[in-house]
Amino acid sequence: MKLTYLLKAPLCMLLAGEVSADESQWGLGIGAMADKQGYAGVNTKTTVIPITSYESENFSINGPQFEYTLGKYTIPDFGALKLSLLGQYRFDGYEAEDGDIFNGMDKRSGAFELGFSVGYSSNLGGISFEFVNDVTNKHEGYEASLTYSRPYFFDSVIIEPYAKISHFSDNFVNYYYGVEDHESLSNRQAYVGEDTVNGEIGLRMRWQAGKHHSFISNLSYRSFGSDIKNSPLVSGSGGANIILGYVYAF
């Protein structure tokens, strides 16, 4: 099973920081992820991945995502708004050898997506809206998501619970969870899904163990929307994800 794009969220939100106009910072590290995607008969996959991060005043690269900040606006006694352009590579997909359920299925590939985000932060936490759309003609769909998070600071440790809802278009659902007529079998009927909404809750943590050393973790659980749960490729109503990582900042 291919590495899912879930790595993006904890990296971008845990590694990102405030960098002044005349500064930039690189980071390199390594991480491990255990992910249950929900496909029938496919066990939890544990993957070791390299981590690369770069942060400047208006541009950042965190794992498979880059972000360019178009503007930041501070509203006295209200909070701050941030508007950004996004680009990311989605690693979702599978090949026939990934599990028996995929025998006779065409390969599903990852995709590069472009979009934007709007974020609002205050003393009560942060809310962000993201929209990304496939520009490589793979799944030819989009994801629109809304996330609420609130960080808690304990000396060198940040703990940040979050909740997220994601709307996936019908093209996205059909590409990764649909079954074409020529792929159907007696135990795997043809399936055409519609757009659906996933829910996710999680807990991100970061320990700044010195000037250069950071340890990150992300624990999360996704609840699948009905048109994903109803796919003959899927068993169960959701999937858990665990990420542990270390980053050295230069």
Quick one: what percent of the chain has pLDDT higher than 70?
91
134-148 residue pLDDT tens: 999 999 999 999 999
pLDDT digits (tens, 9 = 90+) for 160-177: 999 999 999 999 999 999
Q: Tell me the pLDDT band of 116, cut-offs 50, 70 and 90.
A: very high
- Please determine, for residue 8, whether its predicted confidence score (pLDDT) is greater than 50: no
Closest CA to 192 of 215, 210, 176: 176
Domains annotated for the chain, with CATH where assigned, are 5-249 (2.40.160)
Structural tokens at position 118: 């709007």
Report if pTM > 0.95: no
In this predicted structure, the answer to whether residue 7 has a pLDDT above a threshold of 50 is no
